[in-house]
Amino acid sequence: MNIYGIRAIYIYEMSRTLRTITQSIASPILSTTLYFVVFGAAIGSRMGEIDGISYGAFIIPGLLMLSLLNESISNASFGIYFPKFMGTIYEIHSAPISPMEIVIGFVGAAVSKSVILGLLILATARLFVDYEIAHPVWMVGFLLLTAVTFSLFGFIIGLWADDFQKLQVIPLMVIMPLTFLGGAFYSIDMLPEPWHTVSLFNPVVYLVSGFRWSFYGVADVNVATSLGMICFFMLICLAAITWIFKTGYRLKS
């Protein structure tokens, strides 16, 4: 196993984050904070409780998930897309490093960033809203699983994209709508039919619901189902990456 190789990629990626700290850390924290201020503090005080939780506190897990998804995807996709775009990927191809090690380096760095960001957002939220975490271990578990899964997904997008537009299109056209309709701002139990049933086809619903359960012990869908869905999606991503490296699709001629 090429530990030094994994480490080199990891350090390289993390230093990219530090270099662009405003964009990669400060800006997602700021935008999430604005949500807390607007929906939590300003509007939230006029809203009724949901499942016995104040609205300000209710939206925290969902908002955190939203940032986590976006940042995981964009970090991991950009991380692998950029060397492809610059042509510097030749060095990685010519190095004695296995596909799995390359993935660990890139995805590991993207996951680290996302988790750090998630924890920072959580700490910031505390300044505006009172919340508690009923199952901290599960909370961290969900945080990690989601970060890993969506960093893997982002990595696939970065491998697949051969121009900047393709890099943006899936996060914008697919992920954004899914997260906004994923029950971050409401409980899907509040939706009339058929929208309630339609929502059950949205994978983000399971993420948000499971994550919210780890905070407040209430969930829209069964927690085991949530966990199962994340793991299922992660396996799909892993299978796709294995296939890409095996066939060299969009990587090698």
Partner 1 sequence: MEPVISIKGITKTYASGLQALKNINLDIHRGEIFALLGPNGAGKTTLINIVCGIVTPSEGSVCVDGHDILNDYRLARARIGLVPQELLTAAFESVEATMNFSRGLFGKPSDPVVIERILRDLSLWDKRKAKVMTLSGGMKRRLLIAKALSHEPQIIFLDEPTAGVDVELRRDMWEMVRQLRERGVTIILTTHYIEEAEEMADRIGVINNGKIIVVEEKATLMDKLGKKQLALTLQAPLTQLPSELLNYPLELSADGYALTYTFDAQQEHSGIHELLRSLDSLGIDFKDLHSSESSLEEIFVSLVKE
Place of tokens 């960093």: 151
Instruction: Determine, following the binding rule CB under 8 A, whether residue 12 of this chain makes contact with partner 1.
Output: yes
Least distance in Å: CB of 172 to partner 1?
A: 25
What DSSP assignment string belongs to 65-133? HHHHHHHHHHHHHHHHHHHHHHSTHHHHHTSS--HHHHHHHHHHHHHHHHHHHHHHHHHHHHTT-----
Instruction: Determine, following the binding rule CB under 8 A, whether residue 134 of this chain makes contact with partner 1.
Output: no
Instruction: Determine, following the binding rule CB under 8 A, whether residue 4 of this chain makes contact with partner 1.
Output: yes
Least distance in Å: CB of 20 to partner 1?
A: 9
Closest residue by Cα to residue 8 from 153, 150, 144, 108:
108
Please select the residue that binds partner 1; options are 52, 91, 214, 217, rule is CB under 8 A: 91
Is 52 within 8 Å of 217 (Cβ atoms)?
A: no
Please select the residue that binds partner 1; options are 18, 19, 130, 197, rule is CB under 8 A: 19
Instruction: Determine, following the binding rule CB under 8 A, whether residue 16 of this chain makes contact with partner 1.
Output: yes
| Residues between 183 and 202 that touch partner 1 (CB under 8 A) | none
Instruction: Determine, following the binding rule CB under 8 A, whether residue 8 of this chain makes contact with partner 1.
Output: yes
Place of tokens 């056209």: 173
* Secondary structure element (H or E) that encloses residue 17, with its range: helix 3-19
Least distance in Å: CB of 2 to partner 1?
A: 5
Closest residue by Cα to residue 138 from 236, 230, 33, 237:
230
| Residues between 219 and 238 that touch partner 1 (CB under 8 A) | none
Stretch of 93-101, 176-184, 197-205, 238-246 lying at the interface with partner 1 (CB under 8 A):
93-101
Taken in order 75, 80, 86, 92, is the CA torsion positive or negative? positive
Instruction: Determine, following the binding rule CB under 8 A, whether residue 14 of this chain makes contact with partner 1.
Output: no
Instruction: Determine, following the binding rule CB under 8 A, whether residue 52 of this chain makes contact with partner 1.
Output: no
Binding site for partner 1 (CB under 8 A): 2, 4-5, 7-9, 11-12, 15-16, 19, 83, 86-88, 90-98, 248, 252-253
